[in-house]
Structure 1
Amino acid sequence: MLTFKVTTVGASAGFILTKEAMARLKVKKGDTVYLTEAPEGGYRITPYDPDFERQMRLAEEIMHDDRDILRALAK
């Protein structure tokens, strides 16, 4: 478990990611991270956009369900 202290950043509050935390998240300076609610309660910090993931899951379902139509259209 990694711990972080909330600090002042300009007129806002934030926390600093250590090199270890950035390595674990696979992020670099300038990347965006997302704070999402975890299903079991609490919150999760992730570099993956949950809205994009949801859109991709829906697209994959459509491509699977309508694969014959898509193959015909691709010809």
Structure 2
Amino acid sequence: MNMPLKIVKIGNSAGVVLPKEMLAHLDVAVGEMLSVTKTPSGIELRVPATDFDAQLTAAREVMARRKRALRELAK
């Protein structure tokens, strides 16, 4: 799916409006979150993993418990 999108001013920021066909292709609705990733050829939009927040919380807990070991490994 390749379609041109116009950049519009939104307050002090800028954004693009996703057409309904693109929202349907991503299987998302207005108000849901998308993940944006920089790739060698541009950017990629995708629906974030449903368990990403839980994984991130667990990783932060481990990093907090093992702060000293991680600091030593980073040397």
Question: Is TM (by shorter chain) over 0.5?
Answer: yes
Give % identity. 33
Q: How many matched pairs?
A: 51
Deviation per CA, 1:35-67, whole angstroms, max 9, x where unpaired? 1023x5421011124x82xx4xxxxxxxxxxxx
Partner of 1:18: 19
Q: What's the RMSD between the two structures over aligned residues? A: 1.9
Amino acid at match of 1:19: K
Please say if residues 33 and 48 of structure 1, whose CA atoms lie closer than 8 Å, have aligned partners that are also in contact: yes
Higher strand share: 2
Q: TM-score, normalised by structure 1?
A: 0.58
Which consecutive unaligned segments of at least 5 residues does structure 2 have? 56-75
Structure 2 distance, partners of 1:25, 1:14, is 18
Deviation per CA, 1:4-61, whole angstroms, max 9, x where unpaired? 11100111100101111100111101001111023x5421011124x82xx4xxxxxx
Which consecutive unaligned segments of at least 5 residues does structure 1 have? 56-75
